[in-house]
Amino acid sequence: MSAKKEPIWIARELSRCSGCRKCEIACSLAHEKRIWPEASRVRVFMLVPGLEFPHLCAQCEDYPCVEACPEKALSINKKTGAVAVKTAACISCGKCITTCPGRIPHMHPTEKYALICDLCKGDPQCVKVCQEGKWNALTKVARRNISFKLYARTPEELTKDLAAKLYGEQGEEYL
């Protein structure tokens, strides 16, 4: 495992996701002190039953959301590589969502700011629970020089891919 201060990344293997949503539970407990699935920075989508997957920030190498923020409310945490949201500055205009190739950020359900994974200061709680249960859909790895942006995909696209893998041609009927 990488040294504590080295930037990390959450590698994802979506077809291993059971849809248990323990990542949502852990994330919201860590950030909101409540079980609050919609306030979780990682959200599990199930647009088609059986095709569940966690949807979370991929920390694109060029950070288009940070670039697009008109209020400079987003910044890059140098230690972890995570996108930091300055909640007081955010005007919830949604630019970070439309710029994100995966439309990953979403608004806090009751507050006026966007929710983006902060990598839990290098110790992501979602990864912990996923590993505890041996699903390993999420794994913490050292941030190396790869195309992270590739992994920022929309829920629809990911659903389509998983449908092809699990259900083959039959899956097209349910999309």
Q: In the complex, which residues of this chain contact other proteins (CB under 8 A)? A: 15-16, 18-22, 25, 28-29, 32-39, 43-50, 55, 92-94, 97, 103-107, 109-110, 114, 132-135, 154-155, 166-167, 170, 173-175
| AA identity, residue 7 | P
Minimum distance from CB of 53 to other proteins (Å)?
A: 11
* Nearest Cα residue to 133 out of 55, 15, 22: 22
Minimum distance from CB of 29 to other proteins (Å)?
A: 7
Minimum distance from CB of 57 to other proteins (Å)?
A: 12
16 or 143: whose CB is closer to other proteins? 16
10 or 116: whose CB is closer to other proteins? 116
- Inter-residue long-range contacts of 136-139, CB under 8 Å, 24+ positions, other chains counted: 136/13, 136/16, 137/12, 137/13, 137/14, 137/16, 137/17, 137/18, 137/53, 137/54, 138/10, 138/11, 138/12, 138/23, 138/42, 138/54, 139/10, 139/11, 139/12, 139/13
Minimum distance from CB of 9 to other proteins (Å)?
A: 22
Degrees (nearest 5) of the Cα angle 173, 106, 56? 70
Minimum distance from CB of 71 to other proteins (Å)?
A: 14
21 or 160: whose CB is closer to other proteins? 21
8 or 96: whose CB is closer to other proteins? 96
11 or 93: whose CB is closer to other proteins? 93
